[in-house]
Structure 1
Amino acid sequence: MNRALPWYSWMFIVSPNPPRERTSLNCAATLSQSSKPPTLQVEKRKQCALSMQVVVLAGGFGTRLRPWTYEIPKPILPMLDKTLLEHVVEVVPSDKVDEVVVAGGYKIDDIEAYFKEADVSYDVRIVRETEPLGTGGALGNCRDVVSGQFVCLNGDIISSLDMQVGLDLHQKNRGIGTLALWEVQDPTPFGIVGLDDDQRITQFKEKPAPQEVFSNLINAGSYVFEDDIFDYIPLGRSSLEREVFPVLAEERKLNGFSFDGYFIDAGTPKSWSLGVEASIAHERWKGGKRIDSNWHADDSVNIHGDSKVENSMLSTGASITSAQLSKCSLLNNVRVGSNSKLNETLIGRNSTIGKNCTLDSVVVDHDSIVPDNTVLSCAQWPLIE
C-alpha cells in the first residue's frame, strides 16, 4: 500500500547499502541502547584515535526562522541539498566522526525520523531534553552516552573551520577543552577570551560590557572536550559560557585557536542567506550544480525573461518570471511572479509570490500565496496579527 512521503523525502540520496540501526535516548533516566556493552564502547574510543563522537547542541526553537520552523526543526532545514546539521558537522574530518549525538527537544522526533532514512556516513543518536537546559545542561544531559575525547558544536554555525587544527592543538596542550575562536571588531555580544603565547586561555567573559573588553577573540561555538568536562557541569539547567568556561580558564585547562575565512550563525533570515551564499561559493552540496552565483537543484529550475538572480538557492521546480532575486532560498516548487524584487527572503515549498512584490528579509511559509503588490520587510508570511 502506498503511503505519503514525508516532507524531507526529496532530500534523500538512495544508498545501495541497507540502513544502519540507530538508537535514541530519553536522557532523563534511560541508558544507551547498543549491541555492545558500554564499557567496550568506551575502550574502543580510547584505543582508536580515528574515531570519536560529535555532540551537536540543537535545543533551540528556531524562532527567528519561523514560520519555516513551525513544521521543520532548524537542524534539518535544507541548505542546498543538505540539512543545516550536516553542514555543521562537516567542520570535523569525516574519518574522525564515529557517531553524532544530537542534544535537543523541539520537534526532536522529526529529527530522529529524518536521520533514520538519511544517507550519512555516521550513526546518529538522539538525546532528548524535556525542558530547555541551556548549553551546559544540554551537554551535561549527554554524560551517560559520551566518552573519551569528543567534539561539541553549536547547531547553527556555518563556517570555514577545520576542526583538525583544534584536535592537533588539544593533543599538544592537553587540558579539558580547546575552543575555536573568531576575531570581531565589536565583541560585546559574544563570549571573549584571553589567550597566552602557548594558546592557553587565561580568561573567559560572556557578553562583556564595553569597559570589560580585553580581547577581540570570541567563542565560535565549536569545541574539543575530554569527558572530564562533565565534572564541571551541574545537573539541570546551566551555561557553558557563564558557569563552566570561566572556571576552566582560571584553572588553565582550556586552549584556543583562531581561524580565518567565514563564520556565520545561520539563525536569522539575513544570516541564513549568508550561509547559503557561502555554501554555494564553497561548493558545499552533494548534487545539483552552480550556474553563475546560484545553486540549481536540477534541470527543472526555470528562470524566464529578463530575470536577474544572484547568490540564491533554487530547489526543484523553482520558476522565476522577469523578477529580481538576491540571496534568496527557494524550496521545492516555488513560483515568483514578474517584476517582483526579493532580497534575503526564504520561501517555503509549494508557495507562490505574486507580481510586483517587494520582499526584504521575509520568511514565507510553505503552501502560501503572497498577493500581487505586497511590500514587506523583516517579516513573516502569513502576517502575524
Structure 2
Amino acid sequence: MRAVIMAGGEGTRLRPLTCDLPKPMASLCGRPIMEYILDLVDMHHIDKATVTLRYLPSAISGYFGERYRGISLRYTVEDKPLGTAGSVKGAVQGIGEMDSSDILVISGDALTDFDLTAAAEFHKKSGAAATLVITQVDDPREYGLVRADSKGRVLGFVEKPGWAQAVTDAANTGIYILSPSVLSYIPDDTAFDFAKDLFPLLLRKGIPLFAYEANGYWCDIGNLTTYLTCQRDILEGRLRTIPAPENGILCRSDRPQGGYTITPPVYIGRDVNIGVGAQIGPFAILGDGCRIGNGAKIRSSVLLESSYTGDRTSLTGTLLCHGASVRRGASLFEGSAIGSGSVVGEYATVFPDVKVWPNKHVESNCVLRDNVRDGCGASVAFDDAGLTGETGVEVTPELCARVGAAVGSLADGEKVAIGCSSDQAAASLKMALASGVLSTGSVVWDFCACIEPQFDFFVNFARIHA
C-alpha cells in the first residue's frame, strides 16, 4: 500500500498560529503535526508516500526532505485548488501507472493512533472500491457523518447535522483506502471532493463503498482549542503510539536548572530557561529556547520556540507563537493567542479568546478586549540615553547588528569603539553590534566590560571619533 498525505491546507481557523506556518508544521510538544502522521505510516510498513502541498509548500518539503525513516517522500504542489479527490488523483498520477497497490489517503494535520493495517485488511476482505475510516464521536454536530449497515456497507452521508438529524455518531475521519480503479471516476484538472462529489457518485452507481470503524484516538485539529487539547492528550498518554512521559515531565534534553516549581504534566524543550519562583504547569508546553521570568505562572498554555515571558507574568490557557514576548506583569487568559514576533507590554491584560496577529504591539497597561490584526509592530525608542527598550524584546541581537551596520557605514572604514556592562546579555548584544560594524569594512576597537567613565577615557585616549 502507498500513501497520499494531504498537507495543503491553510488552517485559517488556527490563525494567528498559521499566519506564517502551514498547518501540518504546527508544533505538538516540540514536533510538527505531520511528523506524528509519518510515524504512524512508517509503523504500518508503508514505504512510499506522496505529500500534496499548496500553502507555504517549502516549509514542509524543506523540513522532511526526500526521506523520513523508512518512507520515501515525494511532493506535489497544486497550482490551483483541485479539492481533496482531485488533489489525490494528481498526486497518484505522477507515481507511475504500473503501481496497482491500494492507496491510503490521510490528513497531515490531524492526530491519530488508528490501526491502519487492520483498516487495509478490512478493505481487501470487503471487496470495497473505497473504504472510509470512521470513529464514534461525542458531539456528532461538528462532523460529517456516515451511515452504514451491520456489515459496514455505506448507506449515506449526513453533513454536520443538528441534533434532530444526527442519526449516527460515526464521524468521517478523512482517512480513506482506495482501490486504483476509483481514480477513473475523478475528473482531471477539476475541483472534486471525496465527501461532496466522489463518494455520492459511487453510491449512485452502486459501486461498493464500505466504512471501517476504528477504535483509538483521533483529533481533527480544526481550531486553537483542539490544538491545545491535543497536546494535553499527548502529555496524558491518551495515544497508544506515544507513551505518557515518566513522572509527567517530558523533556527534550536536560531539565533546566533553577528554583522553580513544576506541576505535571508538562513538556520542556531544549535550551529553556526558567526563572526563580516560576510556577510551571499543569499542562504547560515550553518550546525550544523559551525564556520564563522570575515568579511567572504558566498554566495550560503553549509557548512555542524562542518565546519570552517576563517577571511575574501570568498565562492561563494561552498560546504564544514563535518569538512572541510578554513583558513584566502582564496577564493573558483562556483562549488568547499572540502571533509570532508580537509584544504584549508591561502589566497589560489580554481578555479570553482575544487574538493578536504577528508583529503587533500591545501597549503597556492596556486592557485588550478585541482582536488585533492591523497596525505596526513594536518600535524601539531613541532618547537622551540612546537606544532604549527591554533586552530580548525590543533590543535584540538582530537590531544591534543593523545598528552596527549603520554606524559602520557612517564611519567609512575608520575605527569604531564599543564596550558593554558586565552582564551576559550586554556582551551578546555587543558582539552583534560588532558584527554589523565589521560587515561594512570598518575597524572595531572592543574595550570589553567597563563603566561609562572608563569607556569615555579609552575613546579619548585612542582618539576614536566613532
1:183-332 paired onto structure 2 within 5 Å = 183-208=136-161, 211-235=164-188, 236-250=190-204, 251=206, 253-282=208-237, 283=242, 288=252, 292-298=264-270, 300-302=272-274, 304-320=276-292, 321-332=294-305
CA distance in 1, matches of 2:63, 2:123: 33
Residues 342, 132 of structure 1: alpha-carbon distance in 2 compared, 3 angstrom cutoff:
farther
Shift of 1:359: 3.2
Instruction: Return the match for 1:167 from 120, 125, 133.
Output: 120
1:361 lines up with 2:335 in the alignment: yes
**Distance 1:322-1:136 versus aligned 2 partners, 3 A rule:** same
Report the Cα distance in structure 2 between the residues aligned to 1:258 and 1:322, rounded to whole angstroms.
48
Which protein has the larger Cα radius of gyration, Structure 1 or Structure 2?
A: 2
Distance in 1 separating the partners of 2:118 and 2:251? 28
Once the two structures are superposed, the pairs formed by residues 1-385 of structure 1 within 5 Å of their partners are 52-116=1-65, 120-146=69-95, 147=99, 148-208=101-161, 211-235=164-188, 236-250=190-204, 251=206, 253-282=208-237, 283=242, 288=252, 292-298=264-270, 300-302=272-274, 304-320=276-292, 321-354=294-327, 355-372=329-346, 373-381=348-356, 382=360, 383-385=372-374
Amino acid at match of 2:217: Y
Cα 1:117/1:337, change in 2 over 3 Å? farther
Distance 1:278 1:349 in 2: 22
After superposition, give the CA deviation of every residue in 1:232-267 in whole Å (9 maximum; x if it has no partner).
222311111011112334525222222334321123
What SS does the aligned partner of 1:244 have? Answer: helix
Shift of 1:299: 6.0
Contact 2:251 2:268 in 1 (8 A): no
Cα gap change, 1:276 to 1:185, in 2 (>3 Å) = closer
More deviation, 246-255/222-231: 246-255
Q: Retained in 2: the 8 A contact 1:93–1:163? A: no
Q: Secondary structure of the residue that 2:353 maps to in structure 1?
A: strand
User: How far has the Cα of 1:144 moved from its partner?
Assistant: 0.8
In 2, the alpha carbon distance for the partners of 1:191 and 1:271 equals 17
Alpha-carbon RMSD across the aligned residues, in angstroms, is: 2.7
Q: What fraction of aligned residue pairs are identical, expressed as a percent?
A: 24
Cα deviation, residue 352, structure 1: 1.8
Q: 1:379 to 1:133 in 2, by over 3 A?
A: farther
Partner SS for 2:351: strand
8 Å CA contact 1:53, 1:98 repeated in 2: yes
Given that 2:330 and 2:344 are in contact with CA atoms closer than 8 Å, whether structure 1 keeps it comes out as no
Distance in 1 separating the partners of 2:210 and 2:133: 9
Map Cα deviations across residues 249-308 of structure 1 (whole Å, 9 max, x no partner).
452522222233432112321111111122233347997279721111236342641514
* Aligned-partner residue type, residue 151 of structure 2: D
The TM-score, its normalising length taken from structure 2, stands at 0.65
- Matched position secondary structure for 2:151: coil
Which structure 1 residue ranges, 5 or more long, are not aligned?
A: 1-51
| Change beyond 3 A, Cα 1:125–1:340 | same
Distance in 2 between residues matched to 1:303 and 1:140, nearest whole Å: 53
Distance 2:322 2:93 in 1: 39
1:301–1:314: 8 Å Cα contact kept in structure 2? Answer: no
Change (3 A) 1:233 1:210: farther
Tell me by how many angstroms 1:219 deviates: 0.2
| TM score, norm. by length of structure 1 | 0.78
Quote the Cα distance in structure 1 between the aligned partners of 2:140 and 2:161: 8
Taking CA–CA contacts closer than 8 Å with sequence separation of 6 or more, which of the two structures ends up with the larger relative contact order?
1
Q: Give 1:150's aligned amino acid.
A: I
How far did residue 216 of structure 1 move? 1.5
**SS of alignment partner, residue 142 of structure 1:** helix
Q: Distance in 2 between matches of 1:119 and 1:197?
A: 39
Unaligned runs of 5+ in 2: 256-261, 361-371, 375-466
3-state SS of 1:360 partner: coil
Deviation of residue 109 (structure 1)? 2.3
Given that 1:59 and 1:138 are in contact with CA atoms closer than 8 Å, whether structure 2 keeps it comes out as no
CA contact (8 A) 1:341 1:357 kept: yes
